[in-house]
Amino acid sequence: MQPCYLDVPSRPLADFLWGSIGSVVVSHRIKDLFEKHGVAEVAFAKVELRKIGKRVAKLPPPIPASGEPEDLINEAPPLTGISTIGPYYELIVLNESDYPPGGRPKGFCSECGRPDVDNKMRRLVMTPEMWKGEKIFFLATTLQMIVTSDLKELLERNNPTNVVFKEM
């Protein structure tokens, strides 16, 4: 398993950290909640807190001297005592739905395996026929994470921070 690193310009305080589309880092509290309730459609990889900035996460981000957002982490003064932060885990969603209407791939990229989908024909909807029975999964051909109403309610009862649910 490859290492997972967390480099952020401020102190993470939330249960859900959204590093990139389709990837989410969760607090130990959320990992424990999933494990306690038998959410088996995910895996967790411990995240190494590599560079954590001193700023408060709720402040607006500073603008790096270069003006480039990716340079922000290089200019952030690091927090030295990170033992009070975390642990955090990458939440790895293992399944996806069946293809959405009009979204059956015409083929797959020989390099990366990504499906070649006609985006004009594909409808980004979730129908009952597409569901394979998992509590959490990706909408096929996208990086949209879907959770069942049962899992949504479980999470909401535990007041998670930095996550919003939208009806599909």
Residue 163: inside a domain: no
Most confident of the following: 7-16, 52-61, 158-167:
158-167
Q: Locate 132 and state its tokens.
A: 């394979």
Lateral strand order in the sheet of 4-11? 4-11, 42-56, 88-93, 23-27, 16-20
Q: Confirm whether pTM is higher than 0.75.
A: yes
Count of domains forming the chain: 2
Q: Which of 92, 127, 145 is the last residue of a domain?
A: 92
8 and 86, same domain (yes or no)? yes
pLDDT band at 62 (very low <50, low <70, confident <90, very high): low
Are 72 and 15 found together in one domain?
A: yes
Last residue of a domain, one of 65, 92, 119: 92
Question: In this model, does residue 73 exceed pLDDT 90?
Answer: no
Euclidean distance between CA atoms 48 and 44, whole angstroms: 13
| Residue at 15 is within a domain | yes
Q: How large is the average pLDDT for residues 33-44?
A: 95
- Do 71 and 146 have their domain in common? no
pLDDT reported for residue 27 = 95
Q: What residues make up the domain containing 145?
A: 95-157
- Chain mean pLDDT for the chain: 85
Contact by Cβ (8 Å): 165, 145: no
For residues 80 and 103, state if they share a domain. Answer: no
Pair 60, 113 in one domain: no
pLDDT of 12-35, one tens digit each? 888 998 877 778 999 999 999 999
59 pLDDT above the threshold of 80:
no
163 with 155: CB under 8 angstroms? Answer: yes
145 shares a domain with 76: no
29-43, 49-63, 95-109, 127-141: least confidently modelled range: 49-63
pLDDT score for 70 = 66
Q: What's the rounded Cα separation, in Å, for the pair 64 and 70?
A: 9
Q: Which of 67, 92, 117 is the last residue of a domain?
A: 92
Residue 19 in any domain: the answer is yes
Same domain, yes or no: 15 and 49: yes
Which pLDDT score is estimated for 128?
Answer: 92
